[in-house]
């Protein structure tokens, strides 16, 4: 059975992310969710909080494992003999993710599978949710309840 690896900063994890991970689990049987740092981003939530919030969402799911990514994603995928799964919300995501897929294939021979976002989640992004937090707007529709409980203490700082 091939292992799907879904990575992201999950700053914060959204219902779109959880839908993608659940769909990948149905297709591949096993999913590793790699919580990563993006050197181009300044995160709203601490690494520990992001990791714990993602872990809380998938607690009890036997076929989903959450790890903290240290190093290159392509190396993790190769080490686990897996396939990288990426969600795409539209052509902008597709173009960006295609470039990353080509880089990962060049670096480690990693294959990437794209799963399109469901229409009801296609507008939801972590950036959108962070903006909602900054402007003190409700985010319950966009962030899984178990993650919200972990994120609450940092949300209160905004």
Q: What is the DSSP string of 10-79?
A: -TT--HHHHHHHHHHHHHHSEEEEEE---TT---SS-HHHHHHHHHHHHTT-TTEEEEE--S-HHHHHHH
Name the catalytic one among 17, 23, 50, 55: 17
Mean pLDDT to the nearest integer, 64-91: 95
Residue 44 pLDDT:
95
pLDDT at 39 over 80: no
pLDDT at 47: 94
- For the question of residue 153 being annotated catalytic, the response is no
Q: Pick the catalytic residue: 41, 70, 141, 149?
A: 41
Catalytic residue among 78, 80, 89, 130: 89
Q: How far is CA 40 from the centre of its chain?
A: 16
Residue (of 28, 22, 8, 17) closest to 97 by Cα position: 8
Rounded Cα–Cα distance for residues 16 and 75 (Å):
25
- Of the candidates 7, 36, 53, 126, the residue annotated as catalytic is 126
Span 38-47, mean pLDDT? Answer: 86
Q: Please give the mean pLDDT across all residues of the chain.
A: 95
Q: Where along the chain do its domains lie?
A: 3-155
Alpha carbon 65 to chain centroid distance? 13
Region 15-39: mean pLDDT is 95
The yes-or-no answer on residue 118 being catalytic is no
Using an 8 Å Cβ cutoff, are 36 and 8 in contact? yes
DSSP state of 102: H
CA dist 68 and 37 (Å) reads 9
The dotted CATH code for 3-155 is: 3.40.50.620
Per-residue model confidence as pLDDT tens digits over 80-115: 999 999 999 999 999 999 999 999 999 999 999 999
């Amino acid at each position: 059975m091939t292992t799907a690896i879904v990575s992201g900063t999950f700053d914060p994890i959204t219902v779109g992310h959880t839908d993608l991970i659940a769909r990948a689990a149905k297709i591949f049987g096993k999913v590793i969710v790699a919580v990563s740092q993006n050197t181009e981003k300044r995160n709203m939530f601490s690494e520990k909080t992001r990791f714990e919030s993602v872990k809380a969402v998938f607690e009890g799911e036997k076929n989903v494992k959450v790890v903290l990514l240290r190093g290159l994603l392509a190396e993790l995928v190769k080490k686990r003999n897996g396939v990288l799964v990426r969600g795409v919300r539209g052509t902008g995501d597709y173009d960006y993710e295609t470039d990353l897929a080509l880089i990962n294939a060049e670096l480690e021979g990693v294959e990437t599978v794209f799963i399109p976002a469901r229409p009801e989640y296609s507008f939801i992004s972590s950036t959108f949710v962070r903006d909602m937090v900054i402007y003190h707007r409700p985010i319950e529709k966009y962030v899984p309840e178990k993650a919200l409980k972990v994120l609450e203490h940092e949300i209160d700082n905004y």
